[in-house]
A = this chain, B = another copy of it.
Amino acid sequence: MKAVVLSAKWAPKSGFKLGPKDIDGKLTYLGSQVWKDPVVKVMDKAVPKIKPNEVLLKVKRCGICGSDVHMAQTYEDGYIYYPGLTAFPCTLGHEFSGEVVEVGTQAINKRTGKLFDKGEPVTVEEMWGCGECKPCCDGIPNHCERLQEIGFSVDGAYAEYVAAPAKLCWSLKKLEKRYKDIYKIGSLVEPTSVAYNAVIVRGGGIQPGENVVILGGGPIGLAATKILKTAGAQICIVSEPNEHRSALARKMGADYTINPQKENFVDKVKEYTDKEGAAIYLEETGLPQIVTDDIQNAIWECKAVNSTVVLVARSEQRMPVKGEYFQVRRARIIGSQGHSGHGIFFNVISCMASGMDMTPMITKEITLDQVPDNMKLLQTDRENCKISAKIS
């Protein structure tokens, strides 16, 4: 079968030490410290064999994520951008949907409580918890101590077929009533779930009628926009310098957009909310040294107490937090990572079933063969949001 595979050289930087879960020459939790000279190619690979608790999926759709781009993008010294868990060579692709074509002897469909039937349409969680460590046993599998990630450390879905544990598969069946192409929207469940975890599960959601502010109009920010309008936000403001993304934000439900390079963020938040402020501020820019003051000054100058700042974008920069503002305004800062457990995938699919249509985020549709070029395109292109590969 065809598959988009990333290979790279294991060339640890000086000073790098193998972590307790790293495997020499093969797997690391600190990708950018180790992997050099990545090559992405469409290759021919064997169809995966499944274990008893797995299903084999014929992949239908797979979207390109920023992480995919960063795994193949390098600094001047040849090291990859992506700093996280990686094991190369690896078939990439983790935002996907597919159809069950083979069923392990213990592969239960959560929708029916019975073995999967062939033909069931599903999407799959990206984070693969071990099910055995303390966080997994406590019900927080995306903080698994021995996490694997499909498309990063196990073979992913830019391929004609992919194997996945049944427990991580979620049926897309209920989307059939509303959508013609359930696989298209189904491939957006994973990124939408990252946003849902951030604003609903970790951020605690909103009470209908509260305001929200999203900083950054990337896919997670846009998904959060749609989710929070679905949850009854009175006013949703998206701050984003790129005009294409701002337009898309409005399409996804934003009541107002701010161009933080041309407008004063705090003034605009005050204006648009009549100084009420917001219940949730979602940091999705990855530029905390720039936006932290914007956020905390807005909290300080507006009237709302109990604001929650949710950090979803990754950054190695520090946030210069003024604790006093969080004391006087009864506010808080919350870290959010990934998406697993807590019914997140299930609820996201249910939202979609009742009309939360995320497909406007898909700005371009391609074939499997076009994935490597489009991963390159996204290194510079800011006009596209989600590029989606139609695989079968």
Q: What sequence of 0s and 1s flags, for each residue 332-365 of chain A, a beta carbon within 8 Å of any chain B beta carbon?
A: 1111110001110011111101101000000000
Query: Separation in Å of the A241 CB from the closest CB of chain B?
Result: 21
Contact of A209 with B346 at beta-carbon distance under 8 Å, contacts A131-B131, A311-B327 already known = yes
Query: Separation in Å of the A226 CB from the closest CB of chain B?
Result: 10
Query: Separation in Å of the A137 CB from the closest CB of chain B?
Result: 6
Q: A3 at interface (Cβ–Cβ under 8 A)?
A: no
A335 touches B343 (CB 8 A): no
Contact of A333 among B211, B321, B346 (CB under 8 A): B321
A326 touches B347 (CB 8 A): no
For A331, the closest partner residue in chain B by CB is: B335
B145 touches A133 (CB 8 A): no
Contact of A333 with B326 at beta-carbon distance under 8 Å, contacts A145-B113, A166-B132, A208-B227 already known = yes
Contact of A210 among B137, B196, B255, B347 (CB under 8 A): B347
In the bound complex, how far is the Cα of B20 from the Cα of A235, in angstroms?
27
Q: What sequence of 0s and 1s flags, for each residue 137-165 of chain A, a beta carbon within 8 Å of any chain B beta carbon?
A: 11111010110000000000000000000
Segment from A33-41, A67-75, A260-268, A312-320 that makes contact with B: A312-320
Contact of A330 among B143, B167, B315 (CB under 8 A): B143
Q: A108 at interface (Cβ–Cβ under 8 A)?
A: yes
A167 touches B209 (CB 8 A): no
For A314, the closest partner residue in chain B by CB is: B324
Contact of A207 among B200, B334, B356 (CB under 8 A): B200
Query: Separation in Å of the A212 CB from the closest CB of chain B?
Result: 12
Contact of A311 among B133, B166, B326 (CB under 8 A): B326
Contact of A319 with B315 at beta-carbon distance under 8 Å, contacts A209-B350, A353-B234 already known = no
Query: Separation in Å of the A29 CB from the closest CB of chain B?
Result: 10
In the bound complex, how far is the Cα of B153 from the Cα of A388, in angstroms?
48
Q: What sequence of 0s and 1s flags, for each residue 188-209 of chain A, a beta carbon within 8 Å of any chain B beta carbon?
A: 0000000010001110010111
Residues in B neighbouring A274, C-beta threshold 8 A? 174
In the bound complex, how far is the Cα of B232 from the Cα of A348, in angstroms?
11
Contact of A140 among B139, B143, B234 (CB under 8 A): B139
Q: A328 at interface (Cβ–Cβ under 8 A)?
A: yes
A324 touches B332 (CB 8 A): no
Contact of A288 among B106, B134, B315, B323 (CB under 8 A): B323
Q: A9 at interface (Cβ–Cβ under 8 A)?
A: no
B132 touches A53 (CB 8 A): yes
A231 touches B234 (CB 8 A): no
Q: A30 at interface (Cβ–Cβ under 8 A)?
A: no
Could you jot down 20 A-B contacts, CB within 8 Å? A20-B113, A138-B139, A138-B341, A138-B343, A140-B305, A143-B328, A205-B208, A208-B230, A209-B353, A234-B351, A235-B354, A314-B324, A316-B324, A319-B323, A321-B321, A326-B334, A327-B337, A329-B335, A332-B333, A332-B335
